[in-house]
Amino acid sequence: MTEMARKRRWKRFVDRESGKALVVPLDHGLTMGPIPGIGRPQDILRWLSAEVATGVVLHKGFAERLGGAPGCGLMIHLNGSLTVDAQPDLKQLVTSVEAAVRLGADAVSIQTNFSAVTASHNLRLIGRVVDEAHAWGLPVLTMVYDKSRDVERGLERMRHFMRAAVELGVDTLKVAAPAQLERMPELLDGVQEHTPVLLAGGALADERDLLELAAAVVRHGAGGICVGRNVFQRAAPAVTLKRLLQVFRSGASAELNFARPLAQPEREAEMAV
């Protein structure tokens, strides 16, 4: 009964021209504190807009302080933990789907860090959130991470965790990209056809690597990118987001995109930040 509502709401997170999602998670403050780039709401509002991002991920309190998502799709993050916690990978619910609805959310998200300690907790969490969110017609994005450090079987394990989330009804997945981007088709196989997969941007790194990830998303048909620190910890977040959108829309290689001279408005934006 709510499938149409979920699909309509998810479209708010998708760039119409490219068909890709460019979502900026800004939920790091609960876990890590006021890290560089998200210390003050007014600093974020200087660059965040629907012109450069299709959506944002926020905890409920910061969503109110930002006045929602300025023209973007609004996704409320429902669970979390502090880095000082004895079990930081055991993410607990800190709000409800109903509270997200009251904030005007277009979707909700949860993070699931999988290990032998957290696996059963994560399954119960996903099942509960999916049931509640779907009753309200809200799509659910599940951030899936493998905390086992089993590098040899990493891709196999990740595909298992992704499948478990799909079995429980999630609408969208966010996962880390494989170390070798050419293995992305193995990661996406049997999933992307029915459940959009967004690739995580990770910690701040060379912008060229981020643009290459965007090019791989286009090349291999992934659903988009969910990138936080790799955007908001740069001197000019809006410029990086515009470059990512250009890669999505043109399919250009990261190298060519990075080398493209900035247009005058972009140069001015970069100097103003």
Give me the pLDDT at residue 1, please.
61
Q: Which CATH architecture has domain 3-272?
A: Alpha-Beta Barrel (3.20)
> What sign does the dihedral 14-15-16-18 (CA atoms) show?
negative
pLDDT in tens, 59-92: 999 999 999 878 899 999 999 999 999 999 999 9
Contact 210, 201 (CB under 8 A): yes
**Euclidean distance between CA atoms 271 and 257, whole angstroms:** 20
Sign for the pseudo-dihedral over CA of 250, 70, 81, 231: positive
What is the pTM (predicted TM-score) of this model?
A: 0.91
Is pLDDT at 216 greater than 80 in this prediction? yes
- Give tens-digit pLDDT for 46-67: 999 999 999 999 999 999 999 9
> What digits encode the pLDDT tens for the residues 230-267?
999 999 999 999 999 999 999 766 554 454 444 444 43
| Whether the predicted pLDDT of 36 surpasses 90 | yes
Cα–Cα distance for residue pair 118/155, rounded to 1 Å: 19
More confident residue, 120 or 263: 120
**pLDDT tens per residue, range 157-215:** 999 999 999 999 999 999 999 999 999 999 999 999 999 999 999 999 999 999 999 99
